[in-house]
Amino acid sequence: MKNIILFFLSLNLVFAQQESSTRSLTIYKDSFAVINEPIVWSLKSGKNITSFTNVSKNILFDSPVLSLQGVDILSQTLNKNFTSSDNFLKKSIGSVIEIVPINGSRTEGLLMDINGSSISIKTGKGLVVFQRSQLLSFTLRSGNVQDKFTPELIWELNSEEEKSINAELSYISSGFSWKPIYTLTINGDDSSATLSINAEITNNSNVSLFATKLSVVEGNVPLNSSSVNPSYQMIESRSSMENRNLLGDFYIFDIASELNLDSMQTVQLPMMEKRKIIYDKKYVFQNSERDQGDEPLSVEVSFENSASNNLELPLPSGVLYLYEKDDNSSMRFIGRNSLTQIYKGGIAILDGGKAFDIIGKRRILNFDRQSNSEESTISLQILNTSDKSIKVKSVEKIFGDWVIKESSSMYIKEDASTIYFPLEIEPGQSELITYTYKKEWK
Residue 11 has φ and ψ, to the nearest 5°, of -60, -45
C-alpha 336/C-alpha 319 separation (Å) is: 7
User: Running DSSP on this structure, what letter comes out for residue 15?
Assistant: H
Question: What are the b/e assignments for 46-57, b being 16+ CB within 10 Å?
Answer: eebebebebbbb
Residue 340 has φ and ψ, to the nearest 5°, of -75, 165
First-to-final CA distance of the chain: 57
**For residue 82, what pLDDT is reported?**
62
Q: How many of the other CB atoms lie within 10 Å of CB of 3? A: 11
Question: What are the b/e assignments for 167-191, b being 16+ CB within 10 Å?
Answer: bbbbbbbbbbbbbbbbbbbbeeeee
**For residue 117, what pLDDT is reported?**
81
C-alpha 199/C-alpha 243 separation (Å) is: 13
Give Cα separations from 161 to 46, 47, 48, 207 (angstroms).
Answer: 7, 10, 11, 33
Q: Is residue 57 within 8 Å of 206, Cβ to Cβ? A: yes
> Which of 343, 324, 309, 346 has the alpha carbon at shortest distance from 183?
324
**For residue 299, what pLDDT is reported?**
95
Residues 6+ away with beta carbon under 8 Å from 85:
149
Q: Is residue 421 within 8 Å of 360, Cβ to Cβ? A: no
Residue 275, Cβ density class (10 Å: 0-12 exposed, 13-18 middle, ≥19 buried) = middle
**For residue 223, what pLDDT is reported?**
66
Residue 296 has φ and ψ, to the nearest 5°, of -70, 150
**For residue 365, what pLDDT is reported?**
97
Residue 315 has φ and ψ, to the nearest 5°, of -95, 110
Locate the domains of the chain by residue range.
Answer: 2-74+168-177+202-270, 85-140, 280-299+351-440
Residue 185 has φ and ψ, to the nearest 5°, of -110, 115
Name the pTM for this structure. Answer: 0.73
Q: What is the CATH number of domain 85-140?
A: 2.30.30.100
Q: Is residue 218 within 8 Å of 237, Cβ to Cβ? A: no
Q: What is the pLDDT along the chain (442 residues), one digit of tens a residue?
A: 444 444 444 444 433 333 446 899 999 988 899 999 999 999 999 999 999 988 888 899 889 999 999 999 999 998 876 666 676 777 788 889 999 988 888 899 999 998 878 899 999 889 999 988 888 888 877 666 655 567 889 999 999 999 999 999 999 999 999 999 999 999 977 899 999 999 999 999 888 899 999 999 987 676 665 443 333 333 333 333 445 554 446 788 999 999 999 988 999 999 988 999 999 999 999 999 999 999 999 999 999 999 999 998 889 899 999 999 877 778 899 899 999 889 889 999 999 999 999 999 999 999 999 999 999 999 999 999 999 999 999 999 999 999 999 999 999 999 999 999 999 999 999 999 999 999 998 8
Residues 6+ away with beta carbon under 8 Å from 314:
218, 239, 244, 251, 341, 343, 344
SS (H, E, C) 129-165: EEEHHHEEEEEECCCCCCCCCCCEEEEEEEECCCEEE
Q: Is residue 159 within 8 Å of 71, Cβ to Cβ? A: yes
**For residue 7, what pLDDT is reported?**
43
**For residue 13, what pLDDT is reported?**
40
Q: In this structure, is the dihedral angle defined by the CA atoms of residues 289, 290, 294 and 300, taken in order, positive or negative?
A: negative
CATH class of 280-299+351-440: mainly beta
